Amino acid sequence: MDPLLFNQILTYAAAALIAMSVGGGGMMLLREARTTAKRKARLAGNTIVTRPGQKAESGVMRGVKRLGEKMAIQDPAQISNIRTKLILAGWYQREAVAIYLGARGASLIVATVATLFTVPWALSGIGGPAAIAAAGIFAVMAILGPDQVVKGRRRKIELEYIEGFPDMLDLLVASVEAGLSLDAAVHRVADEMGRRYPNLAAHLRVLTLELRAGKARKEAWGAFADRLGIDEARALATMLRQAEEMGTSLGETLAVFSDDMRAKRMLRAEEKAMALPAKLMVPLILFIFPCLLGVLMLPAGFRISQSMIGGG
């Protein structure tokens, strides 16, 4: 091999390794900065939960909403299913269904236009398979994209519910043991959790309004569990219904349930800690191992190239 070519390869390899390390470190720092900023804003009480309808003043959102209204489904059962899915994802507005349908329609239009742009590429005879693959990717993104966004939002918000549920129970136990009724304790806990868990606090406020409106306690807690969509909320609703029917003490019942939730949270934390070494294998292989390999091998390669040049 030509020594000059070998030097160029080594230079490019070193530059690629440096770029990979800098890029990986930059991504980690950016993610950490974003997480820290969100945490500070949430603790400061400046958290704004973005939902469909809050951006309705923008032209794009108005167009998507108008398109969704034209595509409105007439089947009430299907509309109810879509609304339930959006509520579980944290979108509560009346126009959420129209915006969701409009987003699906807009994604189909964009995918169709993008597919039309791939037609000349496919007819040229050079990139036929690639053009077909690109069209397939556009179609899959248009069909599954909005649903995946909703599912991702739902997973994220369910994580907040699961993390905040033990804290909610601890505050409920403290409020009930301090002498407040369960309904008053729910209202107090909703005010206390507004900064740390805004979405969970919003559901608690809805629960408070339902109880004040005269809805039965077991029905209100059942609707609260359905809106959250997590097993912990369903278990709490079932426990409160049984405690009300059997006449047991709410304070003792909530204390036992709170201890159980705290133990489950500790088990989840231990599970994440045990899974951490396996998860670290990917960044180690992608970022740290190539850099380490470059540090160990590039000096030896450079000396070999210099000796080959000197010998030549």
Domain boundaries, the chain: 3-31+276-311, 59-156, 161-268
Residues 6+ apart with CB under 8 A from 122: 128, 131, 132, 135
Residues in Cβ contact with 221 at an 8 Å cutoff, skipping those fewer than 6 apart: 207, 236, 237, 240, 241
Residues written for the chain: 312
**DSSP reduced 3-state for 121:** helix
The pLDDT value given to residue 52 = 42
| Residues 6 or more apart whose Cβ sits within 8 Å of residue 209 | none
Distance between CA 77 and CA 75 in Å, rounded? 6
Q: Any residues with CB less than 8 A from the CB of 280 and at least 6 apart, and which?
A: none
Here the tokens at position 22 are 């800098």
pLDDT of residue 54: 44
Alpha carbon distances (Å) from 73 to 65, 70, 95: 14, 9, 13
DSSP H/E element including 253: helix 250-283
Alpha carbon distance 140, 143 (integer Å) = 5
Measured at the alpha carbon of residue 285, what is the angle toward residues 279 and 291, in degrees to the nearest 5?
Answer: 135
* Residue 51, pLDDT score: 45
pLDDT at 10: 59
The two three-digit tokens of residue 252, written as one number: 């003792």
Angle (nearest 5°) at CA 169 between 263 and 229 = 90
The pair of structure tokens assigned to 247 is 């006449």
What 126-133 contacts at long range (C-beta under 8 Å, 24+ apart), as own/partner pairs, is: none
pLDDT in the model for residue 83 = 77
Largest CA distance in the chain: 96
Q: What is the pLDDT of residue 56?
A: 40
Are 191 and 154 in contact by the 8 Å Cβ rule? The answer is: no
Angle between helices 96-123 and 128-177 (to 10 degrees): 160
- How much is the pTM? 0.59
- Answer whether 86's CB lies under 8 Å from 100's CB: yes
CA distance 20 to 197: 36
CATH number corresponding to 161-268? 1.20.81
pLDDT tens for the chain, 312 residues: list them.
Answer: 556 665 666 566 656 666 666 666 667 667 767 777 766 666 665 444 444 444 444 566 666 666 556 555 555 667 777 777 777 777 777 777 777 777 777 777 777 777 777 766 666 666 567 767 777 787 778 777 788 888 888 888 888 888 888 888 888 888 888 888 888 888 888 888 878 888 888 888 888 888 888 888 888 888 888 888 888 888 888 888 888 788 777 777 788 888 888 888 888 888 888 888 888 888 888 888 888 888 888 888 778 877 877 655
Structure tokens at 93: 């507005």
> What three-state secondary structure class fits 307?
helix
Contact present, 204 and 169 (Cβ < 8 Å): no
